[in-house]
């Protein structure tokens, strides 16, 4: 551009000499140079010369005016292009096509369709293949499916559909309408294939989840002599990632290494994503380390790979490394970091990230807002999650789902159901995930009739097929209501393949409702399904202990030893001033263990007058009552709560996380401790969040 400025000045001096007349062919050549170099100044000079020499008023000068429309449109001067177009004494198909392409490029697809109608009505011109290629793109960008299908009918009748770029535009249009069958029909029935056709079809199939069909198209592509480009490789790597097909991914990686395709940032990001989704984070890291130039897309890709494989700390460490390398994060980077933070339940780190997000200007990005809601909900601060939701300028279905499921996970069923009704009122269409949150909320509230209505009628009305998670929620709903026989009947009749979790939900209900005979039968059935499910052994052992069947407890423990099944030890942790303190039952390793034990002892003594009675039935040992109380007193969550009360700032919630289900005795103690100390105590166990306040829990004593 800079190199052309002196030339532009020379051209101006020549063009504006009174005696100078430049031949039209030279003007056209100069306009081509202007278009190729994006030199708007030169175009304006040439335009002025045409006006001064009165060469714009005759129909014979249509070509330079078409070139001017093209240049102005490419330079985002669409209003100027429109003025040139309007003042043309005569127009041809190129004139219309240039202006329509300009409106399409500048984001006005509906104006393209208006011009298309005017062209046939005003100038009575018959559209050609180039016009239709632009029109189909405008229909897809503008969401005009009906108009697109009407134009499809025209090009079929006129034979224009056999032009490759018309066919490709049609395939692209149907793919953008999520009409995969329509795209495949055009792809299969209209002869002639190039790499763009395959790219559009493959991309549409992968994005819409038609993976088997995508594999069939890929096999067809590999059987033809079509040369792959970078877009092909990116799409195929995406297919491998969706299928988690490492073998195919390795084959495609070898193919690209032996080809002439440049390994640009998009291709490398696709390779990293493929290895991450296939569980080979080491391969992803090798690809990342091999790169000489790394931009934010590549950095975000490798962080996402670590996050997807549960390596949350490594993802956060890479974020720090990226900033050291002077690469600024984008919205996707922050989303991955927030989700990694949620995986670690690191609320304080999430707050720090929130500050960076506000400072960087990404606060109003939907993907960031969604990740913030998820992070705060999973880290136990549902109020902060709700505030983010209410402050969001734009929301998508993921936003609503994150908040509904967040409320449900915290036991706030009423809030979840109210938000679900707001979603429907806002015209959003609920999806698979939405109903997981809704049915979970029905379970918390004991809304059996409503839950069965959503499962059996409403979900099918909106086109959502019930899946395993939905049936598991309804089993929990029926079980909580004490309808154990109905829950078992549902489990044995549903059309989806069940996992152990669904049956263990029913087994846990047997334990809560003290229906020990029913529970033993269900446990035996579950152990036939999965002899290595440690949770079932634990629940069955608890059932025997509650029934004082110590022979049964001994039998279960012996069986676990024989099968080499080890119960995971209970671990609780709490963050105090950026330091994570970890506790196990009867822990004496903490530097302040003496003071912590004294605090626990003091708290338990003070809540006994409030009604605390140690639940010694939870102790799985046949020993004296006093010894059973000692076993209960120093469970990991009690130690963590005591430490939080000793060191957390005044009026700050005590947030404790535990890897296993909270026992009934600790649950009772936590309720009364919250009342005694006038504190909010939030415990996240393996099942859900428990918010203890003023002697009550958000789970309503069912978990």
CB 164 within 8 A of CB 192: yes
User: 684: which DSSP letter?
Assistant: E
**Cα dist from 542 to 24, 532, 553, whole Å:** 95, 17, 8
Same domain, 583 and 684: yes
* Strands 571-576 vs 654-658: parallel, antiparallel or unpaired: antiparallel
**Cα dist from 431 to 46, 173, 386, 458, 463, whole Å:** 57, 24, 21, 11, 8
What's the distance, CA 640 to chain centroid?
33
Which three-class secondary structure string do you get for 409-461?
Answer: HCCCHHHHHHHHHHHHHCCCCCCHHHHHHHHHHHHHHCCHHHHHHHHHHHHHH
Same domain, 490 and 601: no
What is the reported pLDDT for 196? 87
Contacts made by residues 106-112, CB under 8 angstroms, sequence distance 24+: 106/73, 106/76, 106/78, 107/141, 108/78, 109/137, 109/138, 109/139, 109/141, 109/142, 109/144, 110/138, 110/142, 110/144, 112/138, 112/142
Q: What whole-number distance in Å separates Cα of residue 453 and Cα of residue 347? A: 37
pLDDT tier for residue 56 given thresholds of 50, 70 and 90: low
Q: Tell whether the model's pLDDT for residue 39 goes beyond 90.
A: no
Domain boundary among 465, 480, 498: 498
DSSP conformation letters of 469-538: HHHHHHHHHHHHTT-HHHHHHHHHH-SSPP-HHHHHHHHHHHHHTT-HHHHHHHHHHHHHH-TT-HHHHH
Q: Tell whether the model's pLDDT for residue 504 goes beyond 70.
A: yes
Angle at 27 (CA atoms; ends 24, 32), nearest 5 degrees: 130
What is the reported pLDDT for 629? 61
What is the reported pLDDT for 573? 93
Sheet containing 571-576: give its strands across: 579-584, 571-576, 654-658, 681-684, 689-693, 696-697
Any domain includes 338: no
From 229-233, 285-289, 324-328, 542-546, the region with the lowest mean pLDDT: 542-546
**Range of the structural domain that residue 659 is part of:** 571-697
Q: What whole-number distance in Å separates Cα of residue 119 and Cα of residue 252? A: 47
Tokens of 575: 């963050």
Phi, psi of 575 (to 5 degrees): -100, 125
Assign residue 449 the CATH number of its domain. 1.25.40
Tokens of 62: 């249509």
**Closest listed residue to residue 344, CA positions, set 383, 321, 375:** 375
Domain boundary among 439, 466, 498: 498
What is the reported pLDDT for 308? 95
What is the reported pLDDT for 483? 93
What is the reported pLDDT for 626? 53
Q: Tell whether the model's pLDDT for residue 683 goes beyond 80.
A: yes
CB 79 within 8 A of CB 85: no
Question: What contacts 135, CB < 8 A, 6 or more positions away?
Answer: 100, 112, 113, 116, 127, 151
Tokens of 75: 């330079």
Any domain includes 686: yes
Question: How deeply is 225 buried, as exposed, middle or buried, from its count of CB atoms within 10 A (0-12, 13-18, 19+)?
Answer: exposed
H or E segment to which residue 171 belongs = helix 164-176
* Strands 654-658 vs 681-684: parallel, antiparallel or unpaired: parallel
Any domain includes 657: yes
Tokens of 184: 């495949």
Torsion of the alpha carbons at 193, 199, 203 and 206, rounded to the nearest 10: 70
Mean residue pLDDT of the chain comes to 87
CB 75 within 8 A of CB 40: yes
Same domain, 577 and 679: yes
Tokens 């890897």, residue?
659
Tokens of 40: 């708007």
* Strands 696-697 vs 689-693: parallel, antiparallel or unpaired: antiparallel
What is the reported pLDDT for 336? 97
Question: What pTM does this model have?
Answer: 0.79
Phi, psi of 346 (to 5 degrees): -95, 80
Q: Tell whether the model's pLDDT for residue 200 goes beyond 90.
A: no
pLDDT tier for residue 223 given thresholds of 50, 70 and 90: confident
**Closest listed residue to residue 356, CA positions, set 390, 328, 318:** 328
H or E segment to which residue 691 belongs = strand 689-693
CB 125 within 8 A of CB 93: yes
pLDDT tier for residue 651 given thresholds of 50, 70 and 90: confident
For the segment 335-348, the average pLDDT, to the nearest whole number, is 94
Any domain includes 576: yes
- Considering only residues 169 and 673, tell me which one the structure prediction assigns the higher pLDDT: 673
From 47-56, 167-176, 261-270, 463-472, the region with the lowest mean pLDDT: 47-56
Question: What contacts 391, CB < 8 A, 6 or more positions away?
Answer: none
Domain boundary among 498, 527, 546: 498
Q: What whole-number distance in Å separates Cα of residue 491 and Cα of residue 498? A: 8
H or E segment to which residue 576 belongs = strand 571-576
Over residues 308-331, the pLDDT tens digits come to 999 999 999 999 999 999 999 999
Q: Report how many domains make up the chain.
A: 2
Q: What whole-number distance in Å separates Cα of residue 133 and Cα of residue 93? A: 13
pLDDT tier for residue 58 given thresholds of 50, 70 and 90: low
Any domain includes 197: no
Q: Tell whether the model's pLDDT for residue 334 goes beyond 90.
A: yes
* Strands 681-684 vs 689-693: parallel, antiparallel or unpaired: antiparallel
Q: Tell whether the model's pLDDT for residue 4 goes beyond 50.
A: no
Over residues 666-675, the pLDDT tens digits come to 999 999 999 9
pLDDT tier for residue 242 given thresholds of 50, 70 and 90: very high
User: 654: which DSSP letter?
Assistant: E
Same domain, 494 and 578: no
Q: What whole-number distance in Å separates Cα of residue 345 and Cα of residue 316? A: 13
Any domain includes 401: yes
The partner residues of 584 in beta bridges, in order of sequence, read 571
Q: Tell whether the model's pLDDT for residue 562 goes beyond 70.
A: yes
User: 699: which DSSP letter?
Assistant: T
Q: What whole-number distance in Å separates Cα of residue 337 and Cα of residue 314? A: 11
CB 600 within 8 A of CB 642: yes
Any domain includes 583: yes
CB atoms within 10 A of CB 467: 14
For the segment 292-316, the average pLDDT, to the nearest whole number, is 95
User: Crossing angle, helix 246-257 and helix 230-243, to 10 degrees?
Assistant: 160
User: 647: which DSSP letter?
Assistant: H
Tokens of 462: 């909106």
User: 481: which DSSP letter?
Assistant: T
What's the distance, CA 622 to chain centroid?
49
pLDDT tier for residue 514 given thresholds of 50, 70 and 90: confident
From 202-211, 461-470, 611-620, the region with the lowest mean pLDDT: 611-620
Q: Tell whether the model's pLDDT for residue 16 goes beyond 50.
A: no
pLDDT tier for residue 52 given thresholds of 50, 70 and 90: low
Q: Give the rounded percent of residues in the chain with a pLDDT score beyond 90.
A: 51
Same domain, 492 and 582: no
CB 296 within 8 A of CB 328: yes
CB 26 within 8 A of CB 55: no
CB atoms within 10 A of CB 251: 13
What's the distance, CA 261 to chain centroid?
30
Any domain includes 367: no
Which three-class secondary structure string do you get for 278-311?
Answer: CCCHHHHHHHHHHCCCCCHHHHHHHHHHHHHCCC
What is the reported pLDDT for 621? 52
For the segment 655-679, the average pLDDT, to the nearest whole number, is 92
User: 697: which DSSP letter?
Assistant: E
The partner residues of 684 in beta bridges, in order of sequence, read 657, 689
pLDDT tier for residue 18 given thresholds of 50, 70 and 90: very low
**Closest listed residue to residue 657, CA positions, set 340, 411, 376, 344:** 344
- Considering only residues 65 and 297, tell me which one the structure prediction assigns the higher pLDDT: 297
CB 372 within 8 A of CB 388: yes
From 157-166, 407-416, 459-468, 478-487, the region with the lowest mean pLDDT: 157-166
What's the distance, CA 559 to chain centroid?
42
């Amino acid at each position: 551009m800079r190199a052309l400025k002196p030339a532009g000045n020379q051209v101006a001096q020549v063009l504006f000499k009174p005696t100078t007349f430049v031949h039209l062919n030279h003007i056209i050549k100069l306009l081509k140079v202007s278009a190729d170099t994006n030199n708007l100044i030169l175009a304006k000079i040439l335009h002025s010369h045409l006006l001064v020499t009165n060469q714009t008023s005759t129909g014979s000068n249509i070509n330079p005016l078409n070139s001017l429309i093209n240049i102005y449109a490419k330079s985002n001067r669409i209003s100027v292009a429109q003025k040139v177009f309007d003042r043309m004494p005569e127009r041809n198909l190129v004139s219309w096509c240039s202006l329509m392409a300009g409106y399409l490029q500048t984001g006005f697809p509906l104006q393209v369709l208006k011009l298309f109608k005017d062209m046939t009505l005003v100038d009575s011109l018959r559209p050609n293949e180039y016009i239709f290629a632009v029109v189909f793109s405008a229909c897809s960008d503008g969401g005009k499916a009906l108009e697109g299908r009407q134009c499809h009918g025209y090009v079929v009748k006129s034979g224009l559909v056999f032009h490759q770029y018309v066919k490709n535009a049609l395939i692209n249009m149907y793919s953008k309408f999520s009409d995969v069958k329509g795209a495949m029909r055009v792809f299969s029935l209209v002869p002639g294939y190039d790499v763009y056709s395959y790219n559009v079809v493959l991309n549409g199939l992968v994005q819409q989840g038609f993976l088997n069909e995508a594999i069939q198209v890929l096999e067809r592509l590999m059987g033809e002599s079509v040369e792959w480009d970078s877009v092909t490789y990116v799409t195929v790597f995406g297919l491998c990632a969706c299928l988690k097909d490492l073998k195919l991914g390795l084959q495609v990686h070898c193919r690209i290494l032996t080809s002439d395709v440049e390994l640009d940032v998009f291709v490398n990001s696709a390779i990293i994503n493929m290895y991450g989704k296939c569980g080979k984070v080491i391969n992803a890291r090798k690809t990342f380390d091999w790169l000489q130039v790394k931009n934010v897309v590549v950095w975000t890709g490798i962080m996402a790979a670590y996050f997807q494989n549960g390596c949350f700390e490594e993802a956060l460490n890479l974020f720090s490394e990226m900033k050291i390398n002077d690469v600024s994060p984008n919205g996707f980077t922050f989303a991955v970091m927030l989700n990694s933070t949620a995986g670690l339940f690191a609320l304080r780190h999430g707050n720090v990230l929130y500050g960076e997000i506000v400072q960087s200007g990404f606060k109003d990005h939907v993907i960031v807002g969604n990740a913030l809601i998820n992070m705060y909900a999973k880290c136990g601060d549902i109020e902060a999650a709700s505030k983010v939701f209410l402050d969001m300028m734009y929301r998508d279905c993921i936003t609503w789902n994150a908040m509904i499921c967040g409320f449900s996970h915290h036991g706030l069923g009423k809030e979840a159901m109210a938000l679900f009704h707001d979603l429907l009122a806002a015209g959003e269409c609920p999806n698979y995930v939405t109903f997981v949150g809704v049915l979970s909320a029905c379970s918390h509230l004991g809304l059996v009739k409503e839950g069965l209505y959503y499962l059996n009628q409403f979900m099918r009305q909106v086109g959502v097929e019930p899946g395993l998670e939905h049936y598991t929620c309804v089993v929990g709903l029926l079980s909580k209501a004490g309808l154990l026989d109905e829950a078992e009947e549902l489990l044995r009749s549903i059309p989806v393949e069940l996992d152990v979790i669904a049956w263990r939900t029913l087994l846990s209900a047997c334990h809560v409702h003290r229906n020990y005979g029913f529970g033993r039968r269900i446990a035996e059935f579950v152990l036939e399904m999965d002899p290595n499910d440690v949770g079932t052994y634990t629940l069955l052992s608890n059932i025997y202990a509650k029934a004082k069947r110590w022979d049964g407890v001994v039998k279960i423990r012996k069986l676990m030893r024989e099968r080499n099944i080890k119960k995971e030890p209970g671990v609780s942790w709490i963050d105090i001033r950026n330091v994570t303190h970890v506790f196990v039952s009867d822990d004496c390793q903490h530097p302040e263990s003496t003071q912590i034990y004294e605090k626990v002892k003091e708290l338990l003594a003070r809540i006994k007058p409030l009604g605390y009675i140690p639940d010694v039935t939870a102790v799985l040992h046949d020993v004296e009552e006093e010894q059973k109380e000692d076993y209960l007193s120093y469970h990991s969550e009690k130690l963590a709560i005591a430490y939080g009360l000793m060191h957390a700032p005044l009026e700050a919630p005590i947030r404790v996380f535990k890897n296993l289900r909270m026992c009934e005795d600790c649950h009772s103690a936590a309720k009364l401790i919250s009342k005694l100390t006038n504190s909010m105590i939030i415990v996240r166990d393996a099942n859900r969040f428990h918010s203890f306040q003023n002697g009550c829990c958000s789970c309503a004593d069912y978990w």
